[in-house]
Structure 1
Amino acid sequence: MATNEAYYIPSKATWPIVGSIGLSTLLVGFANFLNGASVGSTMMILGAGVMITMFFGWFGTVIKESEGGIYNHQVDISFRMGMMWFIFSEVMFFSAFFGALYYARAHSIPWLGGEYGHIENKNLLWQAFEAVWPTNGPGQVGGHFEVMGAWGVPAINTLILLTSGGTVTWAHWGLLANNRDQLIKGLIATVVLGFSFVVLQGFEYHEAYTEMGLTLGSGIYGSTFFMLTGFHGLHVTIGAIILTVVMVRSMRGHFSVEHHFAFEAAAWYWHFVDVVWLGLFIFVYWL
């Protein structure tokens, strides 16, 4: 396919069907695992193995095509639009979670406390209910818990993510200036900071479960806390893995001043993760 043609048509690929088979095997195995079937764990491992193989194979093919100069301007635009829509879908994903937190704090709890006049006797719900946040519901669901403070590990992680946003931007400046040494050093710093965030969050979760009594079963506070921070932690992990791949590619001489969308896509995603964390720090930990 000539690179000057207006519309790019990719060559025949088998990786999509391989990915479909792997994902189906993984999900069917997970369903069997939840229902106690012995074959479930085996299918999950097999499905995960097929998915990992698909990722390496498919992404490797795309990288080879990109480095080989096969893609034209139309392909570059389609990649950018795809990444934009993907990040938009992630924004909607977290918006739903933040919306659940807002509804619980600003509407459902005051309503249950009789603030809106719908419930004259709040003891009809349960004895001695207090319409305050944080709460773990009727009868202290999950037992007594401590609230996760903002100025320990969460504040350190905030500093880590904000710093990582600066290092990935510094790496981008190095790429635009054709300074590969700066590019690689900036990416190494960003990857180290990203995985440091994940490790510290692991310590935070361990403390929550073992010392603070704060678990997923701690009512609405526990469920929203782990739902929001856990999914964000997953996104940080994925982002750090993506940046690791970009770092390795940079060390191998990939990317140029004119063509480096894979780096830009990783940087967009990382900045999105930073912004989401600021919202989490303010509304989950601080307020």
Structure 2
Amino acid sequence: MKTSAAHGAPRDHYFVPQPSLYPVILSGGMFLLALGFIQSINGFLLGRWVMLGGFAVILYVLFGWFGKVIGESQSGAYRDWEDRSFRYGMIWFIATEVMFFAAFFGALFYVRIISVPVLGGMAETHGTSLWPDFSGTWPTSGPKGTPFTPMGAWGIPALNTALLLSSGATVTWAHWALLRGRRTQLNLGLAATILLGATFLGFQAWEYHHAYSELGLTMGAGVYGATFFMLTGFHGFHVTLGTVMLLVILLRCLSGHFTAERHFAFEGVAWYWHFVDVVWLILFVFVYWL
């Protein structure tokens, strides 16, 4: 029979939290966010304020709900059963993220390897062509797309690759320090990882400005522009989320949370960060380099 450290009472079942209104409030915030977005794209001036209100509600829920979970964890409510459950949940979450990026990489593969060459070779295979002047080479904005200069691999993208690879090393250093009880190195490793992630995002913003202002590479630059910004933009969004999560973990470490035996929150965020690193390496090769 298990015993709850929080109350000293026997517990032989999975921890069940008290009923909460957070799921209902979160649903309302997501509804407001979606409603405001729909209003904005249809020209309603109130839409942006509705979106802002929905975003504020979501932030409120995130701080309150996650804070409650942290409190439960620190009180000793979570044991081996809950730890395994969290691990399975994080594994499945990362698996869904793998499928998410696989879908967009699949779209890039289809466009680049199949559809663009087929459209460019219609005159040879079918004796006619919808667009006689379309060569079907990559990168392309399509038969009637706007001209642009593709993003090179060995400028900011290569620098960002070095930054993310370095951040993978620093978060591993922090994990090693946590396992050995070296709190100073743990905090330094996490701070370095956060700094590297933030620097990556800063360079990506600079890259986007350069693409729009000097290269003519925009979301409207046909299929190349769409796939480029879809893949790099969503990856940047994941880096942003990972950086925020690492910041929360750092604040918890500074507060004395986690031990060498109990630290899944740290470990789950580290898994996520390594996933982000791997996705960037694939993206660098197939979007920037090849």
| Percent of residue pairs identical | 54
Question: What is the DSSP-based 3-state SS (H/G/I as helix, E as strand, rest coil) of the residue aligned with 1:254?
Answer: coil
Alignment of 1:128-277 (within 5 A): 128-139=133-144, 141=145, 143-277=146-280
Alignment of 1:33-48 (within 5 A): 33-48=40-55
1:127 partner letter: P
Question: What is the DSSP-based 3-state SS (H/G/I as helix, E as strand, rest coil) of the residue aligned with 1:215?
Answer: coil
CA offsets per residue over residues 50-104 of structure 1, 9 Å max, x none? Answer: 1100000000000000011011211111111111000000000000000000001
- Provide the residue aligned with 1:70 in structure 2: 77
Once residues 189 and 222 of structure 1 are traced to their aligned partners in structure 2, the CA distance between those partners, rounded to angstroms, is: 33
Once residues 44 and 33 of structure 2 are traced to their aligned partners in structure 1, the CA distance between those partners, rounded to angstroms, is: 14
How many residue pairs are counted as aligned between the two chains?
Answer: 283
CA offsets per residue over residues 110-148 of structure 1, 9 Å max, x none? Answer: 111227965322xx2113110210011113x1x221010
Q: What's the Cα RMSD here? A: 1.4
Work out whether residues 113 and 119 of structure 1, in 8 Å CA contact, stay in contact via their aligned partners in 2: no
CA offsets per residue over residues 153-182 of structure 1, 9 Å max, x none? Answer: 000000000000000000000000011111
- Provide the residue aligned with 1:49 in structure 2: 56
Once residues 32 and 167 of structure 2 are traced to their aligned partners in structure 1, the CA distance between those partners, rounded to angstroms, is: 37
1:62 partner letter: V
CA offsets per residue over residues 210-238 of structure 1, 9 Å max, x none? Answer: 00000011111110000000000000011
Q: Which one of 118, 132, 138 corresponds to residue 127 of structure 1?
A: 132
2:194 partner letter: V
- Compared CA separation, residues 116 and 281, structure 1 to 2 (3 A): farther
Work out whether residues 25 and 57 of structure 2, in 8 Å CA contact, stay in contact via their aligned partners in 1: yes
Once residues 199 and 22 of structure 2 are traced to their aligned partners in structure 1, the CA distance between those partners, rounded to angstroms, is: 33
Work out whether residues 242 and 272 of structure 2, in 8 Å CA contact, stay in contact via their aligned partners in 1: yes
Alignment of 1:104-123 (within 5 A): 104-114=111-121, 118-121=125-128
Q: What TM-score do you get using the length of structure 2 for normalisation?
A: 0.95
Residues 1:82 and 2:85 are matched in the alignment: no
Work out whether residues 150 and 285 of structure 1, in 8 Å CA contact, stay in contact via their aligned partners in 2: yes
Once residues 149 and 198 of structure 2 are traced to their aligned partners in structure 1, the CA distance between those partners, rounded to angstroms, is: 27
Question: What is the DSSP-based 3-state SS (H/G/I as helix, E as strand, rest coil) of the residue aligned with 1:211?
Answer: helix
Q: What TM-score do you get using the length of structure 1 for normalisation?
A: 0.96
- Compared CA separation, residues 138 and 115, structure 1 to 2 (3 A): closer
Once residues 167 and 181 of structure 2 are traced to their aligned partners in structure 1, the CA distance between those partners, rounded to angstroms, is: 21
2:63 partner letter: F
